[in-house]
Amino acid sequence: MSDSDSSLSEPVLKKAVLKEAALAPWRSSLARALHRNRSRPYSRYFQLSTVTAAGHPANRTVVFRDFLPNTNTLTVVTDQRSAKVADIAAHPWAEACWYFTHTREQFRLAGPIAVVGVADSDADLKRARQTAWEALSDNARQQFYWPHPAQPRESEADFSPRDVDEAPPGEFCLVLLIPHAVDHLELRGDPQNRTLYSYQADNTWQVKVVNP
Amino acid sequence: MSDSDSSLSEPVLKKAVLKEAALAPWRSSLARALHRNRSRPYSRYFQLSTVTAAGHPANRTVVFRDFLPNTNTLTVVTDQRSAKVADIAAHPWAEACWYFTHTREQFRLAGPIAVVGVADSDADLKRARQTAWEALSDNARQQFYWPHPAQPRESEADFSPRDVDEAPPGEFCLVLLIPHAVDHLELRGDPQNRTLYSYQADNTWQVKVVNP
């Protein structure tokens, strides 16, 4: 994981995530965790940390939507007006921390991150954004029509349900996290088990079993 | 929350956290969340994000230990050899993201962060570190005698239980997070409720009800 990775231009980065990739070796562990914790809906939530333009860490809970088809890229959705979009523009690198409460294991997934918005013209990215919009529940879609997040709440503000459009509103963004380093910690086990996965320049993964 | 806050010298910062403070207005909401989610042990876990020396975000699950007595400072414990100690030395600012699964609410707590280690000579800080050591379970204490975290796992490595000392080992550190900004989001409610608390130069808190 070199620093130069985080300076990939936006179009290059976004195009790169659509490239088909072999299933990374951490994918089976993550799939197993998702399966074994599936009775708890919040098992699909993780905490996404970014760095603000001022250089401070920011951290919030997001909902895992899916992997981009045939890639190891995680997707979440966000509002163009949310602070994380500005963070990512300033520092296009993130670390997700995903803790599974039932199996007591944690995945940390770090790597470049990109936002796909209404202005993206690439056909594949447009399709990915449209697909993500269609996969959302009606309730989740409503939120993109709400007043500006984090602005003062006005008593007359309109949060009432409305018809959702087939095309996503301009506020709707797809976020792509491309893990370059994954740290899997299993608290069960005596002692605990910890495995580090690190993406290499030749498109392979290095796997190391380390002390917890 | 000004950037200059993050450049407080370590001794000044650490001394500051011991100053008695009035209960911050977000404390009652957080206490209620802890109480209402108390049947789930992982309700005391949160995700702590920091910034590495290289400027990347880092994010991991930690266990909330307690508030420092008579302050609004959150404490966690860590191993001197863990990466977060180096992160904090490089960038002494953090954001905790604390999601409560039963009540479906999130607290984001951001502010200066400091590490109290074996070399700290201040009597109050030494006492706080000692108290934190004594409050740990035997199992949790064992981990500070384990081999170096994140180093390659050797088959002959010694993870066997040993007698724990009354004095914490050199590896044991107390971590102090002093919230300067708190963002409380309640997903229940139609629409959701969100309140921002911001610490002011005159030691008061500004409270704003905002759009979710």
Nearest to B55 among A51, A148, A157 (CB): A51
CB contact under 8 A, B209 and A99: no
Q: Is B153 on the interface with A (CB under 8 A)?
A: yes
CB contact under 8 A, B149 and A56: no
pLDDT of B3 over the 50 cut: no
The span from the CA of B38 to the CA of A189, in Å, is: 25
Residue B19 has a pLDDT of 80
Residues A126-144 have pLDDT tens digits of 999 999 999 999 999 999 9
pLDDT of B4 over the 90 cut: no
The span from the CA of B103 to the CA of B157, in Å, is: 42
User: What 3-state DSSP class applies to B52?
Assistant: coil
Residue A4 has a pLDDT of 42
pLDDT of A17 over the 60 cut: yes
Residue type, A172: F
pLDDT of B2 over the 50 cut: no
Q: Is A54 on the interface with B (CB under 8 A)?
A: yes
Mean per-residue pLDDT for A193-204?
Answer: 96
Q: Which two tokens stand for residue A44?
A: 């699909």
Residue A157 with chain B: CB contacts under 8 Å: 211
CB contact under 8 A, B149 and A210: yes
Is this prediction's ipTM beyond 0.85?
yes
R_g of chain B computed on alpha carbons: 18
What is this structure's pTM? 0.95
Please report, for chain B, the start and end positions of each structural domain, with discontinuous segments joined by +: 3-210
The span from the CA of B94 to the CA of A183, in Å, is: 20
Mean per-residue pLDDT for A16-32?
Answer: 90
Q: Which two tokens stand for residue B124?
A: 């109050």
Q: Is B211 on the interface with A (CB under 8 A)?
A: yes
The DSSP output letter for B5 is: G
The DSSP output letter for B152 is: B
pLDDT of A34 over the 70 cut: yes
Residue A8 has a pLDDT of 63
Q: Tell me the pairing of strands B74-79 and B105-116.
A: unpaired
pLDDT of A111 over the 90 cut: yes
Q: Is A64 on the interface with B (CB under 8 A)?
A: no
Q: What are phi and psi of A7, to 5 degrees?
A: -105, 10
Q: Is B33 on the interface with A (CB under 8 A)?
A: no
Residue B7 has a pLDDT of 53
Residue B12 has a pLDDT of 73
Q: What is the mean pLDDT of chain A?
A: 93
Closest residue in A to B104 (Cα) is: A42
Residues A147-192 have pLDDT tens digits of 999 999 999 999 999 999 999 999 999 999 999 999 999 999 888 9
Residues B74-129 have pLDDT tens digits of 999 999 999 999 999 999 999 999 999 999 999 999 999 999 999 999 999 999 99
Nearest to B59 among A42, A96, A150 (CB): A96
The span from the CA of A14 to the CA of A126, in Å, is: 11
CB contact under 8 A, B108 and A60: yes
Residue B14 has a pLDDT of 77
CATH of domain B3-210: 2.30.110.10
Residues B16-72 have pLDDT tens digits of 777 888 999 999 999 999 999 999 999 999 999 999 999 999 999 999 999 999 999
